[in-house]
Amino acid sequence: MRYEDAYRRSIDEPEAFWADEARAIHWHRPPRKILEYTNPPFRRWFAGGETNLCHNAVDRHLDARGDQLALAAISTETGVRAHYTYRELHREVNAFAAALVSLGVDRGDRVVVYMPNIAEAVFAMLACARIGAVHSVVFGGFAAHNLALRIDDAKPKLLIAADAGMRAGKVIAYKPLVDEALALAASPPPHVLIVDRGLDPSMTRVAGRDLDYAALKKRHANADVPVVWLESNEPSYLLYTSGTTGKPKGVQRDVGGHAVALATSMRTVFDVGPGQVMFSTSDVGWAVGHSYNVYGPLIVGATSLLYEGLPIQPDPGIWWQLCAEYGVRTMFSSPTAIRVLKKQDPAWLARHALPEFRWLFLAGEPLDEPTARWISEGLGKPVIDNYWQTETGWPVLCLQPGLDLKPVKFGSPGLPNFGYDLRVIDEVSGEEAAPGEKGVLVARPPLPPGCLTTVWGDDARFLQSYFSHFKELWYSSLDWAVSDADGYYFILGRTDDVINVAGHRLGTREIEEAVATHPSVAEAAVIGVHDEIKGQVPVVFATLKAGTPEGAARADAANALRERVAERLGAVAKPARVYVVNALPKTRSGKLLRRSIQALAEARDPGDLSTLDDPNALAEIRAALDRGSDLS
């Protein structure tokens, strides 16, 4: 089928289109209605249908491919490789589900998962799905403050944590972060279930609260836990993402729509089917990890590779070695990872024969043309960009080699995916921009299956965050874009104060709040600045309270601010540079001119400064940039 015909049908006849796509998953009870859309922009896909993500990912494959490899969990940090057939995965998930039930976890209860890329993280997610619990995976190593915010919003019945993760050979102890987060949280769960990897021999346990997973698994090793059939629109999981305020947003995903969208995209976008192998390098704590490390490959009966480690250790060829060993067909990674590899000897790209390898997909941040060309030519394989968000859960813009591969245009993530009725809208007039004209990328609701259904516990925030930016009811991506005459889209960056650091979304407001907790800080502005490797990095400009000494003490303050951010938000948010200044540029109404600061930091025109309250403040920024970061 031609892409144009399939896409047009998904927009003009959405119920017929998605009714056909829904046949790719198992329904315990067929949907009563494919789309209910009586309260825009809220919608209900496959209303009345009953299904289960775990059943679709595991149980339904047992007869046809029970002895096929389902999951390979590989850690170059610990040297451990663990392999699970579908039958073995079924057994592990049942044991984990029984452990959850024994701790009182029930349908609709939330479970926070705080683990690295290990097999037990996958077992935990699938076990939650099996019994109808709502998992919320938090990126392993996030700071205690960040974890506490998510705990208080989700109010979980249980927290599941590993003792530690590893990165570049360094042990990152998770349990002390968990203990601190629970001390900070207003709604801590009654129990913490610990997956002890033996990485932190000094780990302490709180009697009565902290439980050992190995002991519970042994007790429930032979348990058979029945699948809980869920109505299609019940929540499957929460995934928190940064916003323009300090409070993270709990993106809520449904069950049926999520399963159908993943089944569709695995076939049409990623070109992976039963018995084939997909390798996604994402962390399970991110949206890609949920969709294409765990649920997507398993739903279609494929094999998923789960990787803990760096792309350059033990050597820069490790990823391609794994692709060769396991016969990977499709790989999904990020531009940042490829830019890291780009600093290595390109001979590593050709060291391993890859006869099964067909596609390398890259997403999470804009993909620059030199990086795309370098990896494509080095591997001798097609490189396909794609664009999506935590909120959408699967690609918004892409090419579809599994259906009808259109020409690759470097710099563009491609064409609209099924069900996404996209426009580029002028932010002032609200009118559609002409090809080549910059505007905001928007989608006409109803959003297709798989996208967020609301913000957890806060419908008003869902509406305000995504649907309040124009007079007409549009879903705003909050990304600048342009389209061309062929219908391809190009993403230009964020319209709000969220920055993208190596694919990790960070709210500048969150970082500013962390900086402001330091007792010497009077005011702070945080911007995202272009970085060759990570795409963007956070940069801090701070004024100090009167009486703070200059010289060495000022450098000490800058270092302290950097560490304060890492302490509260995690290492991923640590500022690349800190500038201590005497004033920050503001408008006469008191609004910080972050975009002007960012322009100066990137050696661009700061734009219209007619509303600037104090011209000397801008000179302060210029002088600080000339002087260099105050970090010692």
Give a yes or no: residue 327 inside a domain: no
CA pair distance 275, 293, nearest whole angstrom: 15
Q: Would you say residue 380 lies in a domain?
A: no
pLDDT at 165: 96
- Domain final position from 402, 422, 439: 439
Q: By the 8 A CB rule, do 392 and 369 touch?
A: no
Same domain, 549 and 410: no
Distance CA 158, CA 209 (A): 10
* pLDDT the model gives residue 613: 67
Q: Which amino acid is at 462?
A: F
Q: Are residues 241 and 138 in the same domain?
A: yes
CATH number at residue 512: 3.30.300.30
CA distance 193 to 218: 14
Identify the H or E element spanning 40: none
Q: Which among 255, 280, 279 is positioned nearest to 55, based on CA atoms?
A: 255
| 364 occurs within a structural domain | no
pTM of the model: 0.85
Please tell me whether residues 416 and 505 are part of one structural domain: no
Q: Would you say residue 187 lies in a domain?
A: yes
Domain annotation covers residue 126 = yes
Judge if 516 and 425 occupy the same domain. Answer: no
Q: Does residue 431 lie in a domain region?
A: yes
Question: N- to C-terminal Cα distance for the chain?
Answer: 60
Whether 442 and 467 have beta carbons less than 8 Å apart is answered as no
Q: What is the pLDDT of residues 492-548, one digit of tens each?
A: 877 766 787 877 777 777 788 788 888 888 888 898 888 888 888 999 999 887 666
Question: CA angle, 535 as apex, 489 and 296 as ends, to 5°?
Answer: 65
62-105 confidence digits (pLDDT tens): 999 999 999 999 999 999 999 999 999 999 999 999 999 999 99
Range of the domain at 185: 3-309+386-439
| Both tokens assigned to 497 | 């104060």
- What's the mean pLDDT when you consider all of the chain? 92
Residue 134's nearest CA partner among 45, 226, 237, 37 is 237
For residue 255, what pLDDT is reported? 98
* 505 & 424 share domain: no
Verify that 193 and 264 share a domain, yes or no.
yes
Same-domain status, 435 and 526: no
Q: pLDDT, tens digit, for every residue of 143-195? A: 898 899 999 999 999 999 999 999 999 999 999 999 999 999 999 999 999 99
d(CA 99, CA 217): 7
What is the pLDDT, as a whole number, of residue 187? 94
Q: Are 71 and 209 found together in one domain? A: yes
Domain shared by 15 and 122, yes or no:
yes
* pLDDT (0 to 100) of residue 263: 98
Specify if 359 maps to a domain.
no
Are 276 and 404 part of one and the same domain?
yes
Instruction: List residues bridging with 279 in a β-sheet.
Output: 305, 331
- The answer to whether position 173 is within a domain reads yes
pLDDT at residue 288 in the model:
95
Question: How confident is the model over 548-572, as a mean pLDDT?
Answer: 80
Bridge partners (DSSP) of residue 483 are 489
Helix (H) or strand (E) holding 51: strand 50-51
391/536 same-domain check: no
**Cα separation values, 20 from 6, 259, 494, 534, 620, Å:** 11, 14, 35, 40, 61
The answer to whether 156 and 112 have CB atoms below 8 angstroms apart is: yes
CA distance 1 to 267: 13
The whole-number pLDDT of residue 377 equals 94
Residues 39 and 145 in one domain: yes
CATH at 114: 3.40.50.12780
Q: In terms of Cα–Cα distance, which of 48, 60, 112, 52 is closest to 89?
A: 60
d(CA 21, CA 436): 34
For the segment 573-616, what is each residue's pLDDT rounded down to a tens digit? 899 999 998 888 876 555 677 878 888 888 887 876 655 667 77
Q: Give pLDDT, residue 8.
A: 98
Tens digits of residue pLDDT in 259-317: 999 999 999 999 999 999 999 999 999 999 999 999 999 999 999 999 999 999 999 99
Overall number of domains in the chain: 2
Q: How far apart are CA 609 and CA 187, in angstroms?
A: 46
User: Is 378 a residue whose pLDDT tops 80?
Assistant: yes
No. of helices (H) and no. of strands (E), the chain: 20, 32
